[in-house]
Amino acid sequence: MNKHPLVKEIIFTNEQITTRTKAVAAEISTFYEQQTTEIKEHTVLILGLLKGCVPFYAEFLKHFGYECETDFMVVSSYRGTTKTSGEPKIVLDVNTTLKDKDILIVEDVIDSGLTLKYIKAYLIGKGAKTVRIVTLIDKNNPTRVAGIQADWSCFKMEDEFILGFGLDYQERLRNLPYIGTIDEEQAKNWKW
Ligand code: IMP
Ligand code: MG
């Protein structure tokens, strides 16, 4: 596979991502089937956090076997401004009622956990019955906020900047079919 010049190393290939996503989707489907008597109208709301979730969401959905509805939110990132201060903002809200819903958030990566902490509180505030999280990447960030963990993750890794398969560098490269680390040297003088 051709590597983009800004990528130092491919850490998860497209094939690895597909295989792992399929397994995780099967596991989660089984989980909800086992819970089915408690689930309102036997449907789970699969909630994608745009834009990073897009490729993972599509792959996940194809292999999710329990009945579901789909919706999305756009949450503005605190990134690129100050790293920890300032809370995320909802730029685009869901179009569905959240009362008593069993929600599965689909996220590209959990890093500090600030985005998910905010979203989870928001959904519970709107009356959601359960809020669970599946993430493609679970980063081992020592400053992760308390109480925020993925219920399921495809891959765990150390705290390092990554791009591709939905994850952007300067709003680009979300279309790379793999996940890679960034080549800092190339990035220093990079012109698009
Ligand atoms: P948080 O720090 O857990 O709140 O992560 C917030 C968001 O930042 C994630 O949903 C991603 O969209 C983005 N993000 C976190 N780590 C990376 C990365 O390594 N590359 C690109 N985007 C990232
Ligand atoms: Mg995200």
Task: Write the pLDDT tens digit of every residue in 110-140.
Answer: 999 999 999 999 999 999 999 999 999 999 9
**Is ligand 1 within 6 A of the CB of residue 190?**
no
Q: Measuring CA to CA, which residue among 179, 154, 183 is closest to residue 165? A: 179
In this predicted structure, what is the pLDDT of residue 85?
A: 53
Three-class secondary structure of residue 139 per DSSP: strand
Give catalytic status of residue 138 as yes or no: no
Pocket test for ligand 1, best of 111, 118, 153, 176 (most atoms within 8 A of CB): 111
* Residue 171 identity: E
Q: How many CB atoms lie within 10 A of CB 181?
A: 17
**Is ligand 1 within 6 A of the CB of residue 166?**
no
Question: Are 53 and 95 contacting, i.e. CB atoms less than 8 angstroms apart?
Answer: no
Write down the catalytic residue from 102, 108, 111, 138.
111
pTM: 0.95
What is the Rg, in whole angstroms, of the alpha carbon atoms belonging to the chain?
Answer: 17
Give the bridge partners for 103, in sequence order: 45, 131
Give the bridge partners for 135, in sequence order: 107, 153
**Is ligand 1 within 6 A of the CB of residue 138?**
no
Residue 45: both structure tokens together: 């709301």
Residue 87: both structure tokens together: 């809370």
Cα separation of 152 and 138, whole Å? 9
> Distance between alpha carbon 122 and the CA centroid of its chain, in Å?
17
Question: How many Å lie between the centroid of ligand 2 and the Cα of residue 78?
Answer: 11
| pLDDT tens-digit readout, 14-30 | 999 999 999 999 999 99
In this predicted structure, what is the pLDDT of residue 109?
A: 97
Residue bearing the CA closest to ligand 1, atom 20: 162
In this predicted structure, what is the pLDDT of residue 66?
A: 98
> Distance between alpha carbon 166 and the CA centroid of its chain, in Å?
9
| pLDDT tens-digit readout, 66-107 | 999 999 999 987 665 445 556 788 999 999 999 999 999 999
3-state helix, strand and coil shares in percent for the chain, rounded to the nearest 5:
30, 35, 40
Q: Is the dihedral of CA 51, 130, 132, 177 positive or negative?
A: negative
- What are the angstrom distances between the C-alpha of 163 and each of 52, 66, 75, 155? 10, 30, 19, 14
In this predicted structure, what is the pLDDT of residue 76?
A: 87
Closest ligand to C-alpha of residue 49 is: 2
